Structure 1
Amino acid sequence: MAGLNVSIAFFFFTVSLCEMIRKLSKRIFPPKVYICLASELMSAFQLCACYLELKMLREIGPWGGGFGPDVSLTLLFLLFLIHGASFDGASANPSISLQEFLALDSSFGATVTKVLAQFIGMEAASTFTKQYWSRELTDFHMIQNLMAQDCSSSLYTSVSHGIFVEATCSFFFQLVILRFQASSSMYRITIVALTVTALAHAAAPLTGAFFNPALAFAVTFSCSGNSLLEYMQVYWLAPITGMLIAFFMYQGNIPRIFQKNLLYSIKNKYRIPKGKVNPSASTSIKERWIKTERTISCSERTE
């Protein structure tokens, strides 16, 4: 139980440190620099550091501390509630940043900056967490240090099955993100945390349930057991493919590539009233409707 308390203290310290740096960065940097660089960097650091500590508890806890998967899943749910509340609009996930680029919500330069910040933040968190483990504050950390000297791959199934699992997880995760992006923050954060917990429960024994290319790169790419090409197929290609399928199914098109909606027909909001009207009046009414539609659509874009 002492090991679990130390891990909870580590979670609290990491989140507090990242939140403090976020607030300081928001005062120092211009909004664009903060959104694309500082916020993504600290959110990626927070996500990876907490994931590594939680992964250690999930792997060592059952036989080293006597607590089962219910503890790690509960902590995962609570952590994603905290992540959702503290990330300040950052995604810490290259797949989400790419989806925003394809939706015309982010420029190419901003997307590249976000992705680079995410990878750098994850790598920094990996180094930071390993240094923290080297202090061996608990027996868990001592065991983890021995295991880390020759880490093994998080892929516990075949490459083809791993591709399917990661793509499926990414598909459902991205679909939930898109479906509830306009909902209230409290409702959206809770749904996302529940989704991540359910996906982790189902897929963690097979692939680690990353569905995040930067997180997988920092955690498992340096471990033995699979080649770099196999890692890229499972943890990079599969999540991006799942994101593309979810985005296309939700949107009906990919605005950055093509505008035509292939799945859903857009119905006119305004119906022409039935009945006989003289041609001049009909033309005038149609012109007013077209003008009203254009005005509303412009106001929706500016909002």
Structure 2
Amino acid sequence: MSGLNASLGYFLAVVIFAASVRTLLKKWPRFGFILEFASSFMLVACWLEVQTIVEVGEWAGGLGPDVTLTILFVVLLTHGVICGVTGNPNVILLKFLQLEATTLPTLLSVAAQFLGAHVALLVAGYYWSLELTDMHMIKNLMARECSTSLLVSLLQGFFTECVCALIFHLIHLNLQRRHALIRVPLMAVLLTFLSHTARGYTSAFINPSLAYGLTFHCSGFTFTEYALVYWLGSLAGMILALLLHMGHIPRIFSKNLLYFQKTRFRVPKGDKGEKKKM
């Protein structure tokens, strides 16, 4: 339990930092990219600790998969309540493709998200180096030789991330106008389910900055190979989801390729008969 208590304190510190930044800067839309930094930092920093509990706690601390899944769900739910779906470069690019964001804010937001992921990696490394518990002492020894989350071939990994991103973004697009009380818990459940289901493949991060913080620094694959799976794979799934949802990609072309648009207004049959009598 001492390991979980230390982890709880770490989670609270990260959440308070992210929530404070978002509260202070929420009134200034010009600094929206800093909000993305805080969101990405919170998600990556917390998920790194969840990953530690999964890798070390399950065999060294006697924690079962039900505990780790519950912790992951609570982390995702908390992130959803505080930050929504921010902290994900694919969501920012989705808004750009939907003509809801311009080029410069999009680039700044994506850069801030990757910076937040990198800072989270540094902060987590420092936290592990304190060796507050046996679990963190073991993690600190393993930090230089971390195990990769990509456990299959590049083709299988690309397909896994693409399919998971397709499912995630399709549901996200259909729920984006729903009330937060419905949307946030459903998205947290979905992400937890996808991550657990794809644990033996890619872990289904569906987030380029999250994948960068969690597995790009691990040995086993090159940076380019990781980017092919976790960046291009999830990007392809996002584009397919947008195409299936809208029938076209507004930023690229306006013609609907999949669905026929019906006119909303129809002329009543009675009006046509009166015109003929006239």
How high is the TM-score relative to the length of structure 2?
A: 0.95
- Whether 1:277 and 2:256 are equivalent positions in the alignment is no
Q: Is the 8 A contact 1:40 1:90 kept in 2?
A: no
Moved beyond 4 Å, runs of 4+? none
> Equivalent residues in 2 for 1:210-249 (5 A)?
210-249=205-244
Deviation at 1:225, TM superposition (A): 0.6
Deviation at 1:25, TM superposition (A): 2.7
Q: Is the 8 A contact 2:128 2:137 kept in 1?
A: yes
Point out the more displaced range, 251-260 or 72-81.
72-81
Identify the residue that residue 16 of structure 1 maps to in structure 2.
Answer: 16
> Closer, same or farther in 2 for the Cα pair 1:280/1:222, shift >3 Å?
farther
Q: Is the 8 A contact 1:213 1:235 kept in 2?
A: yes
Letter matched to residue 249 of structure 1: L
Deviation at 1:152, TM superposition (A): 2.9
Point out the more displaced range, 69-78 or 137-146.
69-78
1:61 aligned to which of 51, 57, 81: 57
Letter matched to residue 29 of structure 2: P
Identify the residue that residue 263 of structure 2 maps to in structure 1.
Answer: 268
- Whether 1:46 and 2:45 are equivalent positions in the alignment is no
Letter matched to residue 111 of structure 1: T
Point out the more displaced range, 183-192 or 225-234.
225-234
Deviation at 1:280, TM superposition (A): 11
> 1:158 & 1:231 partners in 2: Cα distance?
11
> 1:126 & 1:176 partners in 2: Cα distance?
29
2:251 aligned to which of 253, 256, 260: 256
Deviation at 1:85, TM superposition (A): 1.0
Deviation track 1:179-201 (CA, whole Å, cap 9, x = no partner) reads 10000011000110011011011
Identify the residue that residue 301 of structure 1 maps to in structure 2.
Answer: none
- Whether 1:172 and 2:170 are equivalent positions in the alignment is no
Deviation at 1:248, TM superposition (A): 0.4
Point out the more displaced range, 18-27 or 55-64.
18-27
> 1:214 & 1:279 partners in 2: Cα distance?
65
Deviation at 1:12, TM superposition (A): 1.4
Identify the residue that residue 3 of structure 1 maps to in structure 2.
Answer: 3
Instruction: Give unpaired runs (5+ residues) of structure 2.
Output: none
> 1:198 & 1:136 partners in 2: Cα distance?
31
Deviation track 1:74-114 (CA, whole Å, cap 9, x = no partner) reads 11111111111111x56111111111100001101111011
Identify the residue that residue 187 of structure 1 maps to in structure 2.
Answer: 182
> Equivalent residues in 2 for 1:68-83 (5 A)?
68-83=64-79
Deviation at 1:10, TM superposition (A): 1.2
Deviation at 1:262, TM superposition (A): 1.2
Q: Is the 8 A contact 2:194 2:203 kept in 1?
A: no
> Closer, same or farther in 2 for the Cα pair 1:279/1:150, shift >3 Å?
same
> 1:61 & 1:161 partners in 2: Cα distance?
28
* RMSD of aligned residue pairs (Cα, Å): 1.5
Identify the residue that residue 147 of structure 1 maps to in structure 2.
Answer: 142
Q: Is the 8 A contact 2:52 2:139 kept in 1?
A: yes
Letter matched to residue 45 of structure 1: F
Deviation at 1:26, TM superposition (A): 3.3
Identify the residue that residue 105 of structure 2 maps to in structure 1.
Answer: 110
Greater Rg by CA: 1
